Structures are given as C-alpha cells and as structure tokens.
Chains A and B, each alone.
Chain A
Amino acid sequence: MSEPFEAFGDVEDLAADLASPDATVRRLAVMALAETSDWQAVPHLVAAIADAAPEVREQAARALGEFDGRAVGEALARAVTDSVAAVAAAAAESLAELRDADAGGALLALVAHPSPFVRTAILRGLKALQIEASLQPAITALSDVEPAVRVQAVGVIGYLKRQETLPALIGAARDGSAEVRLAAVKALSFADQSAEAAAAVSAALKDAAWEVRAAAAETLGRLGVSSASPALVAALADELWQVRQKALQSLGRLRAREALPAIIVLLGDDNPSLRKDAAATLGEIADPASREALATRAQDADPDVRKTVAWALGRL
C-alpha cells in the first residue's frame, strides 16, 4: 500500500549522497536537502557551496535561498564570488531573499569587492535587511564606477528613509547614468514636505530621459510641496504624454488651483487617458471655476472620461 503521507526526509540520510563520486547524484542530494526545508540541512548545503562540480555549487546556491541567517549569508557571500557565472548568478538571486539582519555581516565585508557583479549583488541583498551598518558603505557606493552598483546603493539608502541621506540622494539625482537618477528621484519620495528634495526633483523634470521626468513628476506629488506647482505646470507641455500624465496627477495631489487654465487645455487632448486625468485633477482641486470646462466633456466619446467628468462635477 502506498504511503499516504510525504516523508519529511532524514537530513543525514540524504546528506550521505553528497559524498557520491557522481556529480549528478550530489546535485540531486542538494535538491532533496533543500526540499526538507529543515534547518539541519543548512550545514550540508553550506558545505556543498565548495563542491568540485559547478552544477552542484549552483544548486547549493539556489537551495540556500530557502533558508536565512548568518551561516547562509556567509555561504552565499562566498558563492557570489565563484568563478563560474551561473553559480554567482544563483547566489545573487538567493542573496536577494535574505531577511535576517544577522546575515548582514558577511555581506558588508564584500561591499568593496573588486568585481562589480559582486558589489551589485551584495548591495541588492543588503537592501531588504535594512541595517544601520549598511548606510555608510551605500553612500560611499554612490561614487562607484559602475552604474549598476550605484543603482543598488540608492536602493539601500531609499529603504532606510533617513533625513540625513537627503544630500546624498539629491546628488544621485544628478548622476551621469539615467538609471541611477531614476532610482534616486523615486527614493526621494519619502522626504515629505522637504523643500530641498522638491527643488532637486523639480530640476529632474527637465531630464533627458523620459522615465526620469515621469518619475520626477510623480515624486513631486508625493512630496506635497506646493512651490513645485509651477514646474509641474511647465511639465504639462512635455513632449511625452506619459510625463504630462504624471504631472497632471501630481497637480491634483497638490490641489494646485493656479494650474487650472493649463489643466483645462488638456481636457481637449487627443489622448483619452490625458483627458481622463485632467478631469480627475480638476475634481481633486474642486474649484467651481472649472465647472464650465468640465461640462463640455460630459459627452466625451470615451466612457472612462465621461465617468471621471461626472465624478469631478460632483466634487464641485
């Protein structure tokens, strides 16, 4: 008769196969150990990070993503420096799964590693751990020669949400790489009511990269600083509708009455998404002066626009 229940798996039994001369058998043993989800498997998986065969090391790096803690952090820190790319890549993915702050120590030791791949993976792993000790290395990494590293550094800093990191993030918003600028502009969202942050992000409304401009428009809405409104109004003339849309949405969050004329113009835009957001913004600002303009769109061809106009009129 078949066994009704899955076996939990004896870790020592399964680990015996790690001594097999056949690398495939060792690899399958690593998989079986991972499956037990038993913390007793960790020392064996850690040992397998040093296996002679790269496919076994790769499997072990992947398996360690199922666990957490100091020993796991240390083993993954070793694996991410493996000379075989597939092993290092697997370790990088598993590093991003860590949540236990105890694992942080092993990672911090590698923030200045010569390989940019390693530095990137380490900072990415540190981000979710949100430990104080990662702040200074991350700020230092904002000057890293590799943009990918700098992006992850912004991530670490952004997650920690510290007032004192504003100058560093504002600096990163002027980075040479668009990806870094994008991350920094988004990360500045936490600086609620900061005029400094708003000024820096407003400048980014003129960034060469459209995604940075769109993110800047969105962040200004979150910062809630009214003096940013003129810059947002100017962004309503951006060449890309995606940026104009974010600017509209943020003007609504800011309740920017002075933007009314510019928003009303967008009620007649060819793009139905913009007409809709223009109506939504007028509804949020709720100035009776927009009633007439809204009423002209009451029979708009697009149902989402009509619905939003109705809602907006109800708000006046």
Chain B
Amino acid sequence: MIASASAKAPNEEARLPIAYTPTTLPVVVDEAKCIADKGCTVCVDVCPLDVLRISDLTGKAYMKYDECWYCMPCETDCPTGAVTVNIPYLLR
C-alpha cells in the first residue's frame, strides 16, 4: 500500500487551509434586463451545472461558480435576453 501524503501523526491535526483563487466568469447577466427580482428563475432552473443563482443583495441572476459547459440554455431561455454566454477563457 502506498503511504498517504497527508498522513498525520497521532496527536496532530494536519492543516489544509483553503485559498480563494480568482477566475473570469463566462456567463454575464445584464441587470437592466434581468427580471429575477420579479420572480423569474428561468436561467437558474435550466442550468445543467447549477452554477447560476439569484443574488439576495441585488435580486438579479449571476454566475456563482466557474463550472460552465458553455451550452447556452441560460441565454436561449432567458425571456428578456439578459444573459450572455462567453466561451470560458481557458478554451477561448
């Protein structure tokens, strides 16, 4: 068996702290057009990767996680044309 790289000594908690790394988001929402604050949840509903959310602060939709298949139902199904899908930077 391979010894685990994160093996701990019996009395010691190994620390594995987590950082926040910035990333440019592919999906952009035009807040002027977005009607999420009136109850629309279409883009959040349709996303296969579940990465869109409605902000508690602004009441508008936004991309919360950079996990995008650039498939486009969010843009296509948005009733007001508020959503734009850009190709993720790493593939563009």
Contacts and interface: CB of A to CB of B under 8 A. Distances in A.
A51 to B, nearest CB: 14
A183 to B, nearest CB: 29
Interface stretch (A24-32, A208-216, A265-273): A24-32
A79 to B, nearest CB: 17
B16 to A, nearest CB: 31
A59 B38 contact: no
Contacts of A25: 38-39
Contacts of B48: none
Contacts, number: 15
A27 B40 CA distance: 10
Chain A at the B interface: mostly helix, strand, loop or mixed?
helix
Interface in A15-71: 22, 24-25, 27-28, 31, 59
B39 A27 contact: no
Interface string B50-90: 00000000000000000000000000000100000000000
Nearest to B37: A24
A31 B42 CA distance: 10
Given A31-B79, A59-B79, A24 B35 contact: yes
A27 B42 CA distance: 13
B83 to A, nearest CB: 15
Nearest to A32: B39
A22 B42 CA distance: 19
B64 to A, nearest CB: 19
Contacts of A59: 79
A25 B39 CA distance: 8
Given A27-B79, A28-B40, 13 more contacts: A22-B38, A24-B35, A24-B38, A25-B38, A25-B39, A27-B35, A28-B35, A28-B38, A28-B39, A31-B40, A31-B42, A31-B79, A59-B79
15 contacts: A22-B38, A24-B35, A24-B38, A25-B38, A25-B39, A27-B35, A27-B79, A28-B35, A28-B38, A28-B39, A28-B40, A31-B40, A31-B42, A31-B79, A59-B79
Interface of B: 35, 38-40, 42, 79
